[in-house]
Amino acid sequence: MVVFRIERRSGLPAYLQIVHQVEQALRMGALTEGDKLPTAAQVAATTKVNPNTTLKAYRELERSGLVEVRQGAGTFITRSLASPQTAPESPLRARLGEWMRQAKEEGLTEHEVTTLFDALLGETFPAAPPTHTPTR
């Protein structure tokens, strides 16, 4: 089961954080077709977000065809986003896992690892330059 983490200072709405975390778990193979997502009440208990926020995220995921809501049974994954390079048994994923374990052994905190990863991600995949919006 996926455990959601909401970063309140990110500037990204909580429901989109949930959507992105599900999509990421699908890409990495942590969630696969048929897996059940936690209930809105379970997410609210662990993240302190309103259950309606989770329901909004699940509706968004349903619209995109990634989940299916089964009345009385829950919300289930309907398709994967995993590629061969990110599947649990892939060499790329294994090397990243080894890097994470080494960072932990060297005493880095989760926040430090995330900061380092985000910095390198930004260097490797720079964001598109902002487009000019005309002034009125």
* Tens digits of residue pLDDT in 26-53: 888 888 899 999 999 999 999 999 999 9
Higher pLDDT among residues 134 and 10, named by residue:
10
| pTM for the predicted model, two decimal places | 0.63
- Inter-residue contact 51 to 14 (CB < 8 Å): no
The two tokens of residue 57 are 């995220």
Q: For residue 111, is pLDDT > 90?
A: no
pLDDT confidence of residue 133 = 45
Pick from 82, 71, 66, 72: nearest CA to 34: 66
Map residue 53 onto helix, strand or coil: helix
Q: For residue 76, is pLDDT > 90?
A: yes
Higher pLDDT among residues 126 and 50, named by residue:
50
What does the alpha-carbon distance between residue 36 and residue 15 come to, in Å, rounded to a whole number?
Answer: 18
Q: For residue 132, is pLDDT > 60?
A: no
Amino acid at 108: L
pLDDT confidence of residue 17 = 95
- Inter-residue contact 77 to 32 (CB < 8 Å): yes
The two tokens of residue 49 are 């977000």
- Which secondary-structure segment (H or E) carries 67? strand 67-70
Residues 6+ apart with CB under 8 A from 4: 17, 18, 21, 38, 43, 46, 47
